[in-house]
Structure 1
Amino acid sequence: MAHSIAEIARALGAEAAGDLSLRVVRAAEPAMAGADDLALAMDPRYADGLAKGQARAAMLWPGADWQALGLKAAIFAPRGRLAMAGLSAMMDPGPEISPGLHAMTVIDPTAEIGAGAAIGPFVSIGRGARIGARARIASHVAIAEGAVIGDDALILCGARIGARVRIGHRFICQPGAVIGSDGFSFVTPEKSGVEEIRKTLSQRSEIHEQSWVRIHSLGSVSIGDDVEIGANCTIDRGTIRDTVIGRGTKLDNQVHIGHNVQVGEDTLLCGQVGIAGSSRIGNRVVLAGQVGVNDNIFVGDDVIAGGGTKIFTNAPKGRVLLGYPAVKMETHVEMQKALRRLPRLGSRVAALEAVISPSSAADRPEED
């Protein structure tokens, strides 16, 4: 679908110049842009690419000399990535899901489907489930009994939503996500080796055979409004109370949320984050890729943890963390600097030992 420069600028609340009636059909990188594309050059670093492409219009940084760049029209974006969010929303056609209910769906007679819903083939919806208005559900999605999903949901291919899961409005779920699987919760008839190590931190008494008894998950999952769940995420239902994901929170691909976890509002969990059971994550927390959070701890509001950080103890609100185990980011940087200095420091110590006690230095075995 084509959009005029005036329409795009108005939708983004941005200033524009030149031929505002000029229409574009796609967004493109500057060097690859064609005559009908809007080149994205929101930083001066990308200006050289405009000469390599054929774009007549571009989204530029404020104050850019668009005429000197050979353009017929320009949109000025003070905050480039925010403008990208609006532009991509305008130009994304979304998945092709035909209106109405496909003939190859299996919907329990007691399920309620909201007005204007579009449900693709091979979708199953269980007893007593409720699907909100204008929901779009792609093929091979399974929604179990008693699940409730709000208005304007988009659920993509192969997602699985378990029994009694409750989801708010404007939910987006990427392919393959599983919401409401059993929690990973087991116990031994006698005190286990894990319990012993938790108490002693290293010491073990007699080691003996152990078997594991399942603790069933009686709770479910509760998800607020405006939540997005990435591809192949897994969210376990709670043991007694629900696992909770707060309003506005976004989960990247392959994030795992354990049973009883409480995640706050507007939190960002990046790829391969894992949060163990019964932990609480505050509001506006950002956990970068492969961050791990121990069970039964609290991560406070506005905490930011860098990639690969492992959080084993409570994290106060506003803390910036990095490392394994997690420490303040500035402490981690100093630790890494110290590690890089260790070889040189070792050489200096060896030289000092040779001066102070030559015989002992000579007798010391060489290191590999």
Structure 2
Amino acid sequence: MAHTIESIASLIGARIVTLDGCVATPQEPVTGAAAIEQAKSGELTFLSEDRHISRLKETNASAVVIHPSQAARVNADYPRLVLLEVEDPQAAFLQVLPLFRMIRSRLKRGISPSAFISSTARIGENCAIGPGAYIGEDVIIGDDCDIHPGASIGAGSRLGRDCQIYSNAVLYHEVSLGDRVIIHANAVLGADGFGYRFEQGRFIKVPQLGGVIIESDVEIGAGATIDRGAVDATVIGAGTKIDNMVMIGHNCRVGRNNVFAAQVGLAGSCSTGDYVRLGGQVGVKDHTHMGTGCMVGAKAGVHRNVPDGETWIGYPASPEAEQKRLVFTLKRVPEMREEMRAMAKRLAELEKLMAESASNPLKAAG
């Protein structure tokens, strides 16, 4: 089906604005959709933030989905673009994107003959279980789940409805998932926590007898690891999104709608409130709590509790304003060092003059 700027505007409920001297027309065919830098003539793009308006000068796109307040700032410097004004440009663009991208369907419903399923497992309706998947004893899988090739689900685990477990992901025994949970490839849930006692010169393993509870609408990235609790379960709250290669230690309790970027590491028994955001490579000390709505910047090292709503950065992490003062002060250290050297030199000269005056008062008086 052919699409035009006009038909796409109708689809997303956009107001069409053409500037004086505009090269494109509302009837122009739209052949694709792409980001600002990659968009070609005949394609559609979108603007998400005010600070990116200047980048529109570089785009070759024929039309841009844009907020009305941003459109008001676009002038004759952008003559070739047709503006499609909507209240939420990103949401509108995501509505258009499937018109030009193939979206692969989910796995074919049914169970592969090469999958291993325990006789005591219970599989819901309309599920898909791929080749080489392993379903252990007493596992319960809800309706409409996809278990991709090579995935392993250990004994006693529970999956809610509409879960997707991608290839080579491993759920150890007694892992519980809510509804609509997505576990990406090679993630490991329920491995033993890193718990040992040091006795008589040796590290003795502490049994890890808790489980893992993943509440509904959680997404866990490729290669992420979530350890089981030692006594009680490690818990990931509803709606939380965990990026690739994140490590969450045993006994952690993560709140609802948290967002952790890649390579975040939480040591054992950490906890968070709701709506916590951690930047890439943040490391958190064991038994640390991060309050509701707080944010920690990338590469920060968190060694103490973070209060609700605060933004912390740096290593060791502290409130943003405090860290900025430290950074600005450190930048002045070379300058301050030179100033101190000059002051020391001047002080030495003054001390010399004072010594000469003390030894020869008449000369000093003259």
TM-score range, shorter chain: 0.7 to 0.9
Cα deviation per residue 1:161-184 (whole Å; 9 max; x = unaligned)? 111111111111221111111100
Give 2:341's aligned residue: 350
Cα deviation per residue 1:129-170 (whole Å; 9 max; x = unaligned)? 122211122211111111111111122221111111111111
Q: 1:150 to 1:25 in 2, by over 3 A?
A: farther
Q: Does 1:282 align with 2:273?
A: yes
What amino acid is aligned across from residue 254 of structure 2 in structure 1?
A: V
> Residue 259 of structure 2: which of 265, 268, 273 is its match?
268
Q: Distance in 1 between matches of 2:299 and 2:286?
A: 17
Matches within 5 A, 1:149-164: 149-164=159-174
Give 2:355's aligned residue: none
Give 2:57's aligned residue: 48
Give 2:21's aligned residue: none
Q: Distance in 2 between matches of 1:257 and 1:232?
A: 12
Is the Cα–Cα contact under 8 Å of residues 105 and 121 in structure 1 kept in the other structure? yes
Give 1:165's aligned residue: 175
What amino acid is aligned across from residue 144 of structure 1 in structure 2?
A: G
Once the two structures are TM-superposed, the CA of residue 214 in structure 1 deviates from its matched residue by: 0.3
Is the Cα–Cα contact under 8 Å of residues 170 and 187 in structure 2 kept in the other structure? yes
Deviates more, 1:351-360 or 1:311-320: 351-360
Q: Tell me the TM-score normalised to structure 2 length.
A: 0.81
Once the two structures are TM-superposed, the CA of residue 274 in structure 1 deviates from its matched residue by: 0.5
Is the Cα–Cα contact under 8 Å of residues 241 and 258 in structure 2 kept in the other structure? yes
Is the Cα–Cα contact under 8 Å of residues 261 and 279 in structure 2 kept in the other structure? yes
Q: 1:23 to 1:140 in 2, by over 3 A?
A: farther
Matches within 5 A, 1:1-368: 14-17=13-16, 26-30=32-36, 32-33=38-39, 37-42=43-48, 44-50=53-59, 52-53=60-61, 55=62, 58-62=64-68, 63=71, 75-84=84-93, 93-94=103-104, 97-189=107-199, 210-357=201-348
Once the two structures are TM-superposed, the CA of residue 358 in structure 1 deviates from its matched residue by: 5.0
SS at 2:213 equivalent: strand
From the CA coordinates, give the structure whose radius of gyration is larger.
Answer: 2
Is the Cα–Cα contact under 8 Å of residues 6 and 16 in structure 1 kept in the other structure? no
Q: Tell me the TM-score normalised to structure 1 length.
A: 0.80
Cα deviation per residue 1:230-261 (whole Å; 9 max; x = unaligned)? 11000000001000000000101111000000
Length, aligned pairs only: 337
Q: 1:289 to 1:130 in 2, by over 3 A?
A: same
SS at 1:183 equivalent: coil
Q: 1:333 to 1:356 in 2, by over 3 A?
A: same
Q: Distance in 1 between matches of 2:257 and 2:9?
A: 27
- Gap regions ≥5 residues in structure 1: 191-209, 362-368
What amino acid is aligned across from residue 177 of structure 2 in structure 1?
A: I
SS at 1:212 equivalent: strand
Is the Cα–Cα contact under 8 Å of residues 273 and 288 in structure 1 kept in the other structure? yes
Once the two structures are TM-superposed, the CA of residue 7 in structure 1 deviates from its matched residue by: 8.8
Q: 1:137 to 1:304 in 2, by over 3 A?
A: same
Q: Distance in 2 between matches of 1:10 and 1:187?
A: 66
What amino acid is aligned across from residue 139 of structure 2 in structure 1?
A: A
SS at 1:349 equivalent: helix
Cα deviation per residue 1:66-105 (whole Å; 9 max; x = unaligned)? 9x8557x864343344445555678562465222112221
Q: Distance in 1 between matches of 2:230 and 2:10?
A: 49
What amino acid is aligned across from residue 172 of structure 1 in structure 2?
A: I
Give 1:201's aligned residue: none
Q: Distance in 1 between matches of 2:184 and 2:213?
A: 18
Identity of aligned residues (%): 32
Q: 1:29 to 1:316 in 2, by over 3 A?
A: closer
Cα deviation per residue 1:341-360 (whole Å; 9 max; x = unaligned)? 11111111111111212599
What amino acid is aligned across from residue 168 of structure 1 in structure 2?
A: G
- Gap regions ≥5 residues in structure 2: 18-24, 353-366
What amino acid is aligned across from residue 60 of structure 1 in structure 2?
A: I
Q: Distance in 1 between matches of 2:97 and 2:194?
A: 38
